[in-house]
Structure 1
Amino acid sequence: MKKLTAILFLGLFFSSCQNLQKREISEEELLQQELKKINWTQVDEFPSVATCDSIKDSATRKQCFFDFLTVTIQQKLDLDTLSILYPQIDTIQVKVTVYPDSRLEFEPQFPSDSLAYDKIKIDSILHSRLTDFPKINPALKRGIPVKTQFVLPVILNVE
């Protein structure tokens, strides 16, 4: 009886060890599973500036950043003759890129019916005026700085 019990116990032991080995997941499989869980189209934290960093609510901090950026761009463009040269344009769409190293890039977005000369001229004015920005902290994804892009409507004729 003891032999039968011992054989039965050993048989169960070896079969359970085989089941455990089958359940082990390779590092590559685990990595692929984790990568599938990540939403690559959203960031964990949006870019920010020092004046907005103390805000705890992420939606409010995001709005603070966008408001700060819009007002700063408007102030820098108010110093120029953009509204005098192009009185028909009251709002311009500006694509903003924030790089992981905190660099900023601005690119005006134009309707398809805009003249090429106007596009070049406005682009030139934007690049000359939109310099010396305060430090922007890049967006974070899982604690790592990442590149983000968004389009801001900037009102030119603020009166």
Structure 2
Amino acid sequence: MASFINAFKSVFTAVGDAAVDLSAASAPPGVGDPTPAAPVAPSDPASAATASSAPAGGTPTSKPQLYFPAPPIISSITSYQDINNDSKLQDMETEYFLERTKEYIKRDKSWKKLKKFSKYLKGEDGYEITYKILRLFVKRGNTNWYDLQMQEELVMDFIKHKLTKLGSA
């Protein structure tokens, strides 16, 4: 805001320098007086041309100069890290939900029919299956990887649904 005010002041300073100063203390004679001073005729022809461009008040005027301040310089652009694409976060979430899926298969009665997947979930395939299911959940659910643990119940229902479809296929 301060730079805008300084630019605004500089516009009027530039215009004030080019135009006639209207303050009473620095007004030339004949300007601001109720009776204007009579113009003085120049003796040489070169000064006659300049005198003819002078107004009746006796002081030459010029067009005010417009001042266009330079655009602001942006020194840096702030970039934020997209933690949703962070592979470490995705690995942590996948490991977490892989372990939760294994626990659900062992302890929950509604997950007992998915016991046939426990041997797949113990190896590298379990990680890949869980990762692909979570990636699908994030994409279709328009959610973020860092929000998955807050939505744990919904995520576990989705994993159960996908594993059931995979088992029946």
Q: Fold conserved (TM > 0.5)?
A: no
* TM-score, normalised by the number of residues in structure 1: 0.29
Looking at secondary structure, tell me which structure has more strand per residue. 1
Whichever of the two has the greater Rg, that structure is 2
Which structure is higher in RCO with an 8 Å CA cutoff and minimum separation 6? 1
